[in-house]
Chains A and B, each alone.
Chain A
Amino acid sequence: MHTAAQPLNKDKVVTQQHALQDPIWVRWGLIAIAISFISLFICVPLGLVIFQAFSKGLQAYWSALSNTDTLSAIKLTLLVAVITVPLNTLFGVVSAWAITRFEFKGKSFLTTLIDIPFSVSPVISGFIFVLLFGAEGWFGKILVEHDIKIIFAAPGIILATLFITFPFVARQLIPLMQEMGNQEEEAALSLGASGWKTFFSVTLPNIKWALLYGVLLCNARAMGEFGAVSVVSGHIRGMTNTLPLHVEVSYNDYDVVSAFASASILAALAIVTLILKTALEWKQANR
């Protein structure tokens, strides 16, 4: 109200522009602080990982990666991602669809539930599975009787990762689908398209970049998760170690090259994720 009543004269505009422009030393000072912070906490550690990984030469790096324990950790990590990412993609699309397209009781409760893995400490999440499926857990007896191993085995790791990564896709889709509304889908239906046809030819093309973005984040977390997986895995070398766990185990065994070589793979994954993420963001903005 106050500013609207003031006459808009030229002088005023000019002084306002000056007010927005801080002195040069302030600007450069702030930029320098930002850059040194990023270097200190991101570039230096990243450089260190690479330096340590190659500290004994290319040969040592290569043999650290090709030793059976490392290979099995890579395999398990890939297995976990291959199972959890598609399942959580499906789950994310289904729950986003339900939340944005239907009216039902307990809708806001479901929306809150989706966020739980983000708000609960991963260690606690892992612990829940131990309480459920561990030898002393609720289902422990039945599992032992039928000779099924979940905790300290791959199924436990997959379950924990599923739990940890399930919000990523849904969280990307819900706001987008809410904003888009369902008019295009209604139009497709009124033109005689079936529900599936409508989903694949109208909904999916509209949400594909957000969906890919969610899948990417989901994958990065599925491969990089430490806390929850650490609780349920039991750290059995060559059996239940994923890459992040393998890094820790090797480091604790003073096998520096192996630890940092594995870490370099995770770092590379992070960098690739970052590049794809930027590309997808650009794509989404220029749709």
Chain B
Amino acid sequence: MSILLSDISKNFGTFAALNHINLDVPEGELVALLGPSGCGKTTLLRIIAGLEHTDKGRVIINGQDKTEQTVSQRGIGFVFQHYALFRHMTVFENVAFGLRVKPRKDRPSNDVIAKKVHSLLELVQLDWLHNRYPDQLSGGQRQRIALARALAVEPSVLLLDEPFGALDASVRKDLRQWLRNLHHELHVTSIFVTHDQEEAMEVASRVVVLNHGQIEQQGSPSDIYDHPANAFVSKFIGQTNIFDLDEHDNDWLQTAGLLQPSQQGKIAHVRPHDIIIKKTDNHHTAPATLKDWQHLGALIRIELVKNESNGSDAPVFAEMPNDQFKQLELTKGDKVKLKIRQAHWFH
């Protein structure tokens, strides 16, 4: 079911945690809410769930205004950042909880509950743990149980607050893919909160970038990566080299014939893979020197220093595929020529 947020604002005392948020999540979509820590992601999610009141604005789910409803009336699945499993109940009872607390006339029989719980546990591939208590599970298992518990009541929408935030890198990677597949299977409208841009891009079909309680940009992952709306988004999504043509980098860039100031702004953001490097023997005109490089799996990240002494001394990073880098036969200290394929300009 669709989620529509219209003009949501929230203050904590004098601190504005959310500022005029407008967001439309169409039915069946999986949207990532991405932003740095403290930008208001959890607050927004809690407002949608009804765990927190808005100061202003409406929460509309499937065309119905839910702003005044309590959390238990809204029928929203919420997966908490720290799982919040009921510690004194077994895995089975945790998942069954939402069914057992239904009003008597809607409550399924014990047989139906058992069947449903086991099928959900199979869905999250943890049926063999149904007799365990939460403190006997690993973090990844707890998170999946929390998800099964939220799904048991067939929520109209599913909200996940940094679901993989507390897990180690390899488990996270697996669970991302798994969550994506699960969403393909269930098609429940979901909002997924994360501060990790890679995670957002990998899991969601649409990404909403939040900063200081405001939406900076929303769109598909490729939209946001290729056409960042502002400097914040460009910096936050992926790595970027920043050149300020009004200040120290001006001379270096122009001498090297790399960039001319643009109508669109004075600050250029250049993705590492948009910098092409070539070895050169002409020591006088070479704009940069290769300082070091790091292996990032299939890619190599190359650290360059500028040769122009009056430029800023921030290193410039370039990236290229492994085999391409081998063909260049570069070593530390080599002088290199650069070509910048494209830049994003901001004021």
Contact = CB atoms under 8 A, between A and B. Distances in A.
B153 A191 contact: yes
B71 A190 contact: yes
B187 interface: no
B101 A206 contact: no
Interface stretch (B33-41, B74-82, B109-117, B284-292): B74-82
Contact of A206 (B70, B74, B87): B87
- Identify which of A184, A188, A190, A194 gathers the most chain B CB atoms within 10 Å of its CB: A190
A197 interface: yes
A204 to B, nearest CB: 10
A187 interface: yes
Interface string B50-83: 0100000000000000000011101111101010
A186 B88 contact: no
Given A187-B78, A201-B101, A192 B153 contact: yes
A189 interface: yes
A183 B80 CA distance: 8
Interface string B263-307: 000000000000000000000000000000000000000000000
A212 to B, nearest CB: 15
Given A191-B98, A194-B101, A206-B88, A186 B71 contact: yes
A202 interface: yes
Contacts of A202: 86
A190 B51 CA distance: 8
B72 A194 contact: yes
Given A186-B51, A186-B71, A187-B78, A192 B84 contact: no
Does more than half of chain A's interface fall in helix, strand or loop, or is it mixed?
helix
B149 to A, nearest CB: 7
A189 B87 contact: no
Contact of B149 (A186, A191, A197, A201): A191
B332 interface: no
Q: Which size bracket describes the interface of B in this complex?
A: 20 to 34
Contacts of B71: 186, 189-190
Q: Which size bracket describes the interface of A in this complex?
A: 10 to 19
A191 B72 CA distance: 6
A98 interface: no
Contacts of A186: 51, 71, 78, 80, 84
Contacts of A201: 97, 101
B341 interface: no
- Identify which of A186, A197, A206 gathers the most chain B CB atoms within 10 Å of its CB: A186
A106 interface: no
Contacts of B132: none
B194 to A, nearest CB: 19
A185 to B, nearest CB: 9
A202 B82 CA distance: 17
Interface of B: 49, 51, 70-72, 74-78, 80, 82, 84-88, 97-98, 101-102, 146, 149-150, 152-153
Given A187-B78, A192-B98, A205-B88, 5 more contacts: A184-B86, A187-B80, A190-B72, A192-B72, A192-B153
Interface of A: 183-184, 186-194, 197, 201-202, 205-206
28 contacts: A183-B80, A183-B82, A184-B87, A186-B71, A187-B78, A187-B80, A187-B84, A187-B146, A187-B149, A188-B97, A188-B101, A189-B51, A190-B49, A190-B71, A190-B72, A190-B78, A190-B150, A192-B75, A192-B98, A192-B101, A192-B102, A192-B153, A193-B97, A193-B101, A201-B101, A205-B88, A206-B87, A206-B88
